[in-house]
Structure 1
Amino acid sequence: MYLACGATDMHKSIDGRAWVVQAWFELDPFSPCLFVFCNRQRDKLKAVVA
Structure 2
Amino acid sequence: MYLACSYTDLRKGIDGVAAMVQQRFKPDPFTNTLFLLCGRRLDCIREFCRDRDGCILLYKL
Q: Please, what TM-score do these two structures have when normalized by structure 1?
A: 0.83
Q: Please, what TM-score do these two structures have when normalized by structure 2?
A: 0.70
Percent of pairs with identical residues = 46
| Moved segments of 4+, more than 2 Å | 28-31
> Cα offset for 1:31?
2.9
Flag structure 1 segments of 5+ consecutive residues without an equivalent: none
Tell me which moved more, 5-14 or 21-30: 21-30
Flag structure 2 segments of 5+ consecutive residues without an equivalent: 51-61
CA contact (8 A) 1:36 1:47 kept: yes
Larger Rg: 2
Specify which structure has the higher proportion of helix. Answer: 1
Aligned to 1:40: 40
Specify which structure has the higher proportion of strand. Answer: 2
CA RMSD of aligned residues (A): 1.5
- Greater relative contact order: 1 or 2 (C-alpha under 8 angstroms, separation 6 or more)? 1
Note closer, same or farther for the CA distance 1:16–1:28 as it changes in structure 2 (3 Å cut). farther
Counterpart mapping for 1:1-50 below 5 A:
1-28=1-28, 31-50=31-50
